[in-house]
C-alpha cells in the first residue's frame, strides 16, 4: 500500500483540511512536515466544525499524529489549540500526538519582528499572518534557534539564548522595540516546558518504525505550492518549502517513503494577501465566488481574492510537485454561473507564456489568456457520484484534467466529509 502526500496546488486555502480528514480514515499516521500555525485547516464533521492551524488533521480521527521537524512550533499556540480541541470533545494525549524533539520554536520575539517589519514595509509588505513563522525559519537557517529538546536542558538555554538575543536585540533597536529580557524569556519557556515536552519524541525514529511495519502514512502539507519559498511567486511566499519534496526532509523519512502525491485544487482560484494573481476578478463574478465560497481566511479572517481557474499555474505545480492526481474542491460554488472561464496561459506584450515567469516585473504585467465555457444550472452540491453531475460540469472537469496534465482522483461537492466522489483511492 502506498503512502500519500497531500499538497495544495494553488496559493493555499484549497480545502486540504477536508481531504486530509477524509483520507485519515484510510491512514494509520498523519504527519505535518512544514509551516507553522499559519496554516488554516477547517474540518466539518456532522454538526461540528474544527479549525486547526498547527495540529495534524488526523487528531480529529484519533489517528497517530506527528508534527515533524520541518514545522516551526509556537509552544503557547500548541497548548491553546490542544485545549480548544479537547473542549470540543477531541481526545488528545502523548500516545497519539507527537512533536519532533528537533523542531524549532516560534518565540514571542519572532512575532514582534514579523509584525514590526510588515508595519515598516508599508506598500512593500508581503502580507504575512504576523505569527512569527518567517523570523523563526530565519533563526533556524542562522543556527541560532531554540528547539523543542532545549526546553528540557536549562544549561543549553543559557548558552543558546545570548546568541539568539544578540541578533534580535540589534534588530529591535532599529525597529524601536524594547530589548528582550533573557530572564523573563527563560521564565516564559519554563512555564510551558513540561506540557510541551510530554509530547516530544524523536519523530524520525517513530516514523521509521511505522514505515517498517507497513503502516500507511499520510503527509499533510500546509499553504500551497505557489507559496513555496523556491518555486512560488517570490517574495510573496511563505518561508518554507511547501512542495511535496519537503515531505521527506520535514518528516525525517527518505524520499522513497513519500508515495502518491495528491494535489488539492479549487474549481476556481483564490489568494490571500499580496502578490500577483493573473486571473483575479474585480467584478460581480469575483464577488459572487467569494460570497458563495465563503472565502475568508481561517487564520487571518481576511477576505480572499477570487478569480477563474488558472490551468497554467496548476500545470506548473503538477510538474514541480510530481503530482499523480488531483482532488478538485468546491465545484458546487460554480453552480448557476451562466459563463465560466479557464486561464490557459499568459500574455506579456507580444509573447504568450504557458507558465508563470519568475521575474517580479513580468508577473505584474501578465494578462490571462482564457477559454470561455458554458456554465450549468443544475446543482452539483452534495453529489456523491460522478453520474449525478450535470453534463456541462463533467465537461468542465474533464477539460481541467486535460489542461493540467493530471487525472482527477477526488471531487468534493460540499464542505461535508462524505460529499466526496472517489475516482481513484490514492492509497491503492
Q: Can you tell me the distance from the alpha carbon of 29 to that of 48, in angstroms, rounded to the nearest whole number?
A: 23
- Quote the distance between the C-alpha of residue 385 and its chain's center: 28
Q: 331: how many CB neighbours lie within 10 A of its CB?
A: 24
User: Where in 86-237 does DSSP place strands (E)?
Assistant: 97-100, 104-105, 200-201, 217-220
Name the one residue in this structure whose C-alpha cell is 477576505: 303
Residues making up the chain, counted from first to last = 428
The C-alpha angle 416, 419, 421, rounded to 5 degrees, equals 145
**Is 41 annotated in the active site?**
yes
The residue with cell 523543542 is 148
How open is the CA angle 96-77-175, to the nearest 5 degrees? 150
Is 13 an active-site residue?
yes
Identify the active-site residue in 41, 168, 231, 324: 41
Q: Show contacts of 92-95: CB within 8 Å, 24+ apart.
A: 92/55, 92/59, 94/198, 94/199
Catalytic residues: 13, 41
Amino acid at each position: 500500500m502506498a503512502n500519500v502526500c497531500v499538497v495544495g496546488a494553488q496559493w493555499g486555502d484549497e480545502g486540504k483540511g477536508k481531504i486530509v480528514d477524509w483520507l485519515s480514515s484510510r491512514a494509520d499516521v498523519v504527519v505535518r512536515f512544514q509551516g507553522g500555525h499559519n496554516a488554516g485547516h477547517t474540518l466539518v464533521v456532522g454538526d461540528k466544525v474544527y479549525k486547526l492551524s498547527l495540529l495534524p488533521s488526523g487528531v480529529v480521527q484519533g489517528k497517530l499524529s506527528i508534527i515533524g521537524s520541518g514545522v516551526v512550533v509556537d509552544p503557547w499556540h500548541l497548548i491553546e489549540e490542544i485545549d480548544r480541541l479537547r473542549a470540543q470533545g477531541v481526545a488528545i494525549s502523548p500516545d497519539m500526538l507527537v512533536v519532533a524533539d528537533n523542531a524549532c520554536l516560534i518565540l514571542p520575539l519572532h512575532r514582534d519582528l514579523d509584525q514590526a517589519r510588515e508595519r515598516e514595509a508599508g506598500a512593500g509588505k508581503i502580507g504575512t499572518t504576523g505569527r512569527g513563522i518567517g523570523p523563526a525559519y530565519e533563526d533556524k537557517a542562522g543556527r541560532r534557534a531554540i528547539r523543542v529538546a532545549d526546553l528540557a536542558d536549562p544549561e543549553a538555554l543559557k548558552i543558546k539564548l545570548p546568541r539568539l538575543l544578540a541578533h534580535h536585540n540589534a534588530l529591535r533597536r532599529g525597529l524601536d522595540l524594547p530589548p528582550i529580557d533573557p530572564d523573563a524569556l527563560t521564565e516564559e519557556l519554563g512555564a510551558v516546558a513540561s506540557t510541551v515536552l510530554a509530547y516530544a519524541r524523536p519523530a524520525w525514529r517513530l516514523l521509521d518504525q511505522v514505515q517498517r511495519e507497513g503502516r500507511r502514512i499520510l503527509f499533510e502539507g500546509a499553504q500551497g505550492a505557489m507559496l513555496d519559498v523556491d518555486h512560488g511567486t517570490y517574495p510573496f511566499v511563505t518561508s518554507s518549502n511547501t512542495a511535496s519534496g519537503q515531505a521527506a526532509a520535514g518528516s525525517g523519512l527518505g524520499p522513497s517513503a513519500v508515495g502518491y502525491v495528491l494535489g488539492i485544487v479549487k474549481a476556481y482560484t483564490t489568494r490571500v494577501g499580496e502578490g500577483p494573481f493573473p486571473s483575479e476578478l474585480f467584478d460581480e463574478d469575483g464577488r459572487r465566488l467569494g460570497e458563495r465560497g465563503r472565502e475568508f481566511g481561517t487564520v487571518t479572517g481576511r477576505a480572499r481574492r477570487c478569480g477563474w481557474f488558472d490551468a497554467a499555474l496548476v500545470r506548473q505545480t503538477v510538474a514541480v510537485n510530481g503530482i499523480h492526481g488531483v482532488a478538485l474542491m468546491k465545484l458546487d460554488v460554480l453552480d448557476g454561473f451562466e459563463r465560466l472561464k479557464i486561464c490557459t496561459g499568459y500574455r506579456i506584450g507580444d509573447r504568450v507564456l504557458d507558465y508563470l515567469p519568475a521575474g517580479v516585473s513580468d508577473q505584474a504585467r501578465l494578462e490571462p489568456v482564457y477559454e470561455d465555457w458554458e456554465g450549468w444550472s443544475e446543482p452539483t452540491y452534495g453529489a456523491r457520484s460522478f453520474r449525478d453531475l450535470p453534463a456541462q460540469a463533467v465537461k468542465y472537469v474533464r477539460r481541467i484534467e486535460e489542461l493540467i496534465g493530471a487525472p482527477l482522483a477526488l471531487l468534493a461537492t460540499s464542505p461535508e466529509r462524505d460529499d466526496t466522489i472517489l475516482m481513484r483511492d490514492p492509497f491503492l
